[in-house]
C-alpha cells in the first residue's frame, strides 16, 4: 500500500474526482495538516481549507430516498418478474456516453418518481378510509333492522330508549332481568327503598336516586323490541310512558345498558348504505391508482439508473468534502495499492494538468489492508474478512487456510455425485450469469469445494451413496458397484477417525509454523524457539511414542520418544516463566505452561467432526437409495425411485453442504487462527462506484 498525493487546479477538481471514482483504486484519507473551514480567515490566508458539502449531501440523501421509495412502490404494486437465479446476476454495463445521455433525463425521471409516490399516497389514503369506514360499518350493522333513527327519543306521551346490552337477551329474558333488577322478586319497592336509605346514610349518595313520588309497587309497563342479538351484544329499543322513563332508564342501566350516540336523523340502514358507498368509492380509487401505477412499470429501469446516479453524486460530494483547497489548487491524499500506481499516474498525466506523487506510509499510520492472492486462494478471502483482516504485524492466513479449507469441506461432504452437481452448477452460474464481487468469490469458492468433494467421494467410493449398486440390483438384476479408490468409511470408520485426527494435527502444526515464521520475521528468534520450537519437541516425542505402537522394531523406540517429550517439557518449564521477576514465579509459570497440552489435545479431537460429517453424508445417501428401491423393478418402481432419489438427495446435499460450510469455518476460526493470527486490520475502502444496478466502463 502506498500513500498518494494529487495536486491540481481547482477547475479540474470535479473531473479528477469523477475519474478516481470510476477507477476505484484510491481510498481518500487526509493526513493531519493545516486545514480550516472554508468560511474562516481571509482571502489572503494561504492555509488550505475544506469545503462544506454536507448541505449537498443532505439534498442528495432526500432525493435518493424519494427515488428508492418510488422503486419500492413499483416493486410492491407492479412486481417485476425475476428468474430463480436473478440474485446471481451481475450489474448491467453502461458506457460513459450512455451514462451521460441518460443522466440528462434525470429531471424527467424525478417527475415520474413524484407521480408514483403521489399515486401510492392516494392508495394509502384510500386504505385508511376503508379501515375507518369498515370499523364504523361493523358497529352499525347490528342496527340495520332498526327502522327509526337511533337518536329517536319518543312521542308526546312515550319515551324511547335505544341502546345495547352486553349479553344475549330476548324480549322475555330482558323483561325478566329488568323485573329482577327492579326488585319484584327480592322485596319489591321496600327493599329498594332500604337500599337507597342505607346508601344515603353512609354518605355514598347526597340524595336518594328514586324519589317517593316515583315509587310503584310493580315495574311499569314497557314495550321491548330486540333489533339483533348475539353472545356478546343485544341491541334493543325499550318504549315506556314518559312518566316512567327515569325508573325504566335506571333499571336498564343496572343490567348494563349502553346508549349509542348517533348524530344523524336517519335510520341505521341509511348510514350503512353510505358507509358501503364510501368503501366502494375508496376501492375504486385504489383500483384507479393501481392501474396508473401499472402504467409506470416501464419507469423501473430509469428509476434504478437514477438511484445509482444520485448515489454516485452523493459519494462524489462526500469525496470533495475531504479535499483541501488553496485559492487556485486543491490537494487530494489517500492510499493506493502499489500495483495500481503506474497505470493511474500515466492516465492522470495524460488527461489532466496534475502532479501525482507516491510514498511509503509512515510507521505510525493505520494502513488499510487489501488482500491480494491467486485465483485458488482469493475465493476464501471473505472467510478471513468475516473474522478480521490481518494487521501490519500479521501474515496473510489465506494461502495456508485455502488448502485446508477445500480439503476439509470435501472430506465432510465426501460424495462425488454431490461434488459433480456443485461443480456443474457453479460453472454454469459463472459462465452465463456473470456474478460480481462477493457473490462471484463465493461461487468460485464452492466450485473449488465441489472439486474437493469429487476427489474425496471417489476415494471413499460414494456416488450419490451406493446408487450404482442399488440401480444395478433393483432394475438390472446384476451386482455392480463402484469400489472406493482408497477405503469405504462406512465399513471402516476407525480408519477415517485416525485420518481426521492426523489431518487435524497437521493443520494445528501448520498454524504453529506460521506463528514461528512471523515471530522470526520480526526478529523474535528466541521467543519463537522457546514458545513454539519446544512444543514441537514435545509433539515429536509423543509422535515417536504413538509410532512405536504401530511399528515392530528391535530398539526401544517408545522409551526414546518419552525422553524426547520429557526434554521438550523440561525446556518449557525452564523458559515459559521467563517474563516473571522471581525465580519461584518463573518456575511456577513454566510448570503451568504444560497445562496447555490439554488444549492442544482438545483442538485435535475437534477434527473428529471430519469423520462424523463424512459418515453422515454417505449413510443418509445410502438410506435414501434403499427407500427408493422398495417399489422394486418395473416402471412403477422406477417412478417411485426417481421421486425419492431427487427429493432425498436434494435434502441431503442441502443439509450436509451447509453443515460442511459451518464446521469448516469453525475449524479455521477456533483451531487454526488461534495458533498464530491476531487480526484487527482496517479494510481498504477505495472511493469508487458502489451502485446496485449499473456499472460503468470507460469509452475506448
Distance, CA of 352 to CA of 372 (rounded, Å): 30
Q: Which three cell numbers stand for residue 459?
A: 476415494
Task: Measure the CA–CA gap between 120 and 76, rounded to whole angstroms.
Answer: 10
Q: Is 164 helix (H, G, I), strand (E, B) or coil?
A: strand
What average pLDDT does the segment 26-48 reach?
Answer: 62
- Angular region, 47: left φ>0, alpha ψ -120 to 50, beta rest: beta
Ordered DSSP codes for 539-594: HHHHHHHHHHHH---SS-HHHHHHHHHHHHHHHHHHHTTTTSSSHHHHHHHHHHHT
Read off the C-alpha cell for 416.
462425488
Helix ranges, 577-674 (H)? 583-593, 596-606, 608-628, 634-666
Residue 213: the pLDDT is: 39
pLDDT score for 517: 96
46-57 pLDDT per residue, tens = 578 888 899 999
pLDDT value of position 194:
44
Average of pLDDT values for 568-591? 87
Q: Are 339 and 1 in contact (CB under 8 A)?
A: no
DSSP structure string for 236-256? EEEEEEGGGHHHHHHHHHHTT
Maximum average pLDDT range among 48-57, 411-420, 571-580: 411-420
Q: Which three cell numbers stand for residue 637?
A: 418402481
User: What cell does 327 get?
Assistant: 485559492
Q: Is the separation of the CB atoms in 182 and 173 below 8 Å? A: no
Higher confidence at residue 612 or residue 50?
Answer: 612
| Confidence category of residue 28, pLDDT binned at 50, 70, 90 | very high
C-alpha cell at 341: 500506481
Check residues 554 and 393 and name the one with the higher pLDDT: 393
Where is mean pLDDT largest: 265-269, 326-330, 447-451, 555-559? 447-451
Round the CA-based radius of gyration of the chain to a whole number and report it: 42
What does the pLDDT look like over 498-522, one tens digit per residue? 999 999 999 999 999 999 999 999 9
CA distance 474 to 476: 6
Instruction: End-to-end CA distance of the chain: give it in Å, rounded.
Output: 29
Please give the helix or strand (H or E) that residue 235 lies within, else none.
strand 234-241
- For residue 45, what pLDDT band results from cuts at 50, 70 and 90? very low
The rounded mean pLDDT for the chain is 88
Q: How far apart are CA 327 and CA 46, in angstroms?
A: 7
Q: Are 378 and 441 in contact (CB under 8 A)?
A: yes
Domains of the chain by start residue, with CATH:
1-50+321-370 (3.30.70.120), 53-140+268-320+686-693 (1.20.1460), 152-260 (3.30.70.2750), 390-678 (no CATH)
The pLDDT assigned to 196 comes to: 39
**pLDDT for position 192:** 40
**Residue 513 grid coordinates:** 509454523
Going by C-beta distance under 8 Å and a sequence separation of 6 or more, which residues neighbour residue 561? 541, 542, 543, 544, 545, 546, 547, 548
Closest CA to 606 of 483, 456, 503, 461: 503
- Tell me if 7 sits within 8 A of 345, measured CB to CB: no
Min mean pLDDT across 147-151, 355-359, 493-497 is at 147-151
Q: Is the model's pLDDT at 44 over the cut of 80?
A: no
C-alpha cell at 523: 526478529
Instruction: State how far the Cα of 605 lies from the Cα of 617, in Å rounded to an integer.
Output: 20
Q: Cα–Cα distance between 640 and 634 in angstroms, integer?
A: 10
How far is residue 424's CA from residue 337's CA, in Å, rounded to a whole number? 35
Q: How far is Cα 21 from Cα 690, in angstroms, rounded to an integer?
A: 9
Distance (Å, whole) CA 427 – CA 85? 13
Amino acid at each position: 500500500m502506498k500513500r498518494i498525493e494529487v495536486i491540481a487546479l481547482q477547475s479540474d477538481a470535479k473531473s479528477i474526482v469523477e475519474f478516481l471514482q470510476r477507477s476505484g483504486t484510491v481510498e481518500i484519507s487526509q493526513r493531519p495538516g493545516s486545514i480550516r473551514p472554508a468560511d474562516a480567515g481571509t482571502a489572503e490566508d494561504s492555509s488550505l481549507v475544506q469545503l462544506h458539502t454536507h448541505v449537498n449531501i443532505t439534498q442528495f440523501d432526500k432525493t435518493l430516498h424519494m427515488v428508492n421509495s418510488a422503486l419500492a412502490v413499483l416493486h410492491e404494486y407492479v412486481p417485476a418478474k425475476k428468474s430463480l437465479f436473478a440474485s446471481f446476476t451481475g450489474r448491467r454495463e453502461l458506457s460513459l456516453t450512455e451514462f451521460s445521455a441518460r443522466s440528462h433525463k434525470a429531471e424527467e425521471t424525478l417527475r415520474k418518481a413524484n407521480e408514483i409516490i403521489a399515486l401510492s399516497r392516494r392508495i394509502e389514503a384510500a386504505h385508511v378510509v376503508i379501515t375507518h369506514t369498515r370499523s364504523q360499518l361493523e358497529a352499525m350493522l347490528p342496527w340495520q333492522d332498526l327502522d327509526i333513527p337511533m337518536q329517536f327519543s319518543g312521542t308526546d306521551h312515550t319515551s324511547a330508549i335505544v341502546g345495547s346490552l352486553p349479553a344475549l337477551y330476548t324480549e322475555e329474558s330482558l323483561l325478566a332481568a329488568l323485573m329482577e333488577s327492579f326488585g319484584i322478586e327480592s322485596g319489591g319497592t321496600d327493599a329498594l327503598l332500604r337500599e337507597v336509605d342505607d346508601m344515603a346514610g353512609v354518605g355514598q349518595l347526597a340524595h336518594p336516586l328514586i324519589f317517593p313520588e316515583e315509587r310503584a309497587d310493580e315495574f311499569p309497563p314497557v314495550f321491548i323490541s330486540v333489533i339483533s342479538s348475539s353472545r356478546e351484544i343485544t341491541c334493543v329499543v325499550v318504549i315506556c310512558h314518559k312518566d316512567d322513563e327515569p325508573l325504566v332508564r335506571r333499571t336498564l342501566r343496572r343490567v348494563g345498558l349502553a346508549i349509542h350516540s348517533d348524530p344523524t336523523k336517519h335510520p341505521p340502514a341509511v348510514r350503512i348504505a353510505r358507509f358501503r358507498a364510501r368503501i366502494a368509492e375508496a376501492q375504486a380509487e385504489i383500483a384507479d391508482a393501481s392501474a396508473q401505477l401499472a402504467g409506470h412499470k416501464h419507469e423501473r429501469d430509469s428509476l434504478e439508473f437514477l438511484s445509482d446516479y444520485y448515489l454516485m453524486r452523493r459519494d462524489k460530494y462526500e469525496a470533495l468534502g475531504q479535499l483541501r483547497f488553496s485559492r487556485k489548487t486543491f490537494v487530494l491524499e489517500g492510499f493506493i495499492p502499489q500495483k495500481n500506481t503506474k497505470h493511474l499516474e500515466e492516465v492522470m498525466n495524460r488527461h489532466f494538468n496534475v502532479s501525482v506523487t507516491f510514498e511509503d506510509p509512515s510507521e505510525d499510520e493505520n494502513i488499510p489492508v487489501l488482500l491480494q492472492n491467486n485465483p485458488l486462494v482469493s475465493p476464501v478471502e471473505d472467510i478471513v474478512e468475516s473474522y478480521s483482516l490481518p494487521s501490519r504485524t500479521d501474515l496473510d492466513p489465506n494461502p495456508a487456510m485455502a488448502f485446508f479449507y477445500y480439503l476439509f469441506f470435501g472430506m465432510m461432504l465426501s460424495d462425488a455425485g454431490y461434488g459433480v452437481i456443485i461443480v456443474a452448477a457453479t460453472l454454469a452460474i459463472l459462465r452465463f450469469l456473470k456474478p460480481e464481487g462477493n457473490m462471484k468469490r463465493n461461487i468460485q469458492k464452492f466450485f473449488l469445494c465441489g472439486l474437493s468433494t469429487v476427489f474425496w467421494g471417489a476415494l471413499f467410493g460414494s456416488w450419490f451413496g451406493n446408487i450404482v449398486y442399488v440401480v444395478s440390483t433393483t432394475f438390472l438384476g446384476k451386482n455392480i458397484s463402484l469400489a472406493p479408490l482408497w477405503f469405504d468409511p462406512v465399513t471402516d470408520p476407525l480408519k477415517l477417525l485416525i485420518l481426521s485426527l492426523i489431518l487435524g494435527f497437521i493443520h494445528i502444526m501448520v498454524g504453529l509454523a506460521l506463528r514461528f515464521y512471523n515471530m522470526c520475521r520480526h526478529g523474535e528468534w528466541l521467543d519463537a524457539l522457546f514458545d513454539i520450537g519446544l512444543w514441537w519437541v514435545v509433539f515429536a516425542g509423543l509422535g515417536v511414542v504413538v509410532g512405536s505402537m504401530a511399528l515392530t522394531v528391535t530398539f526401544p523406540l517408545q522409551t526414546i520418544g518419552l525422553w524426547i517429550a520429557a526434554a521438550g517439557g523440561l525446556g518449557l518449564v525452564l523458559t515459559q516463566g521467563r517474563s516473571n521477576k522471581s525465580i519461584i514465579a518463573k518456575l511456577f509459570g513454566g510448570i503451568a505452561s504444560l497445562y496447555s497440552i490439554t488444549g492442544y489435545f482438545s483442538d485435535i479431537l475437534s477434527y473428529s467432526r471430519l469423520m462424523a460429517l463424512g459418515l453422515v453424508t454417505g449413510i443418509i445417501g445410502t438410506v435414501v437409495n434403499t427407500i427408493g428401491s422398495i417399489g422394486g423393478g418395473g416402471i412403477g418402481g422406477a417412478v417411485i425411485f426417481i421421486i425419492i432419489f431427487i427429493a432425498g438427495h436434494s435434502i441431503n446435499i442441502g443439509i450436509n453442504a451447509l453443515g460442511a460450510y459451518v464446521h469448516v469455518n469453525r475449524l479455521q476460526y477456533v483451531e487454526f487462527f488461534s495458533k498464530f493470527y491476531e487480526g484487527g486490520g482496517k479494510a481498504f475502502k477505495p472511493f469508487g462506484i458502489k451502485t446496485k444496478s449499473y456499472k460503468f466502463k470507460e469509452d475506448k
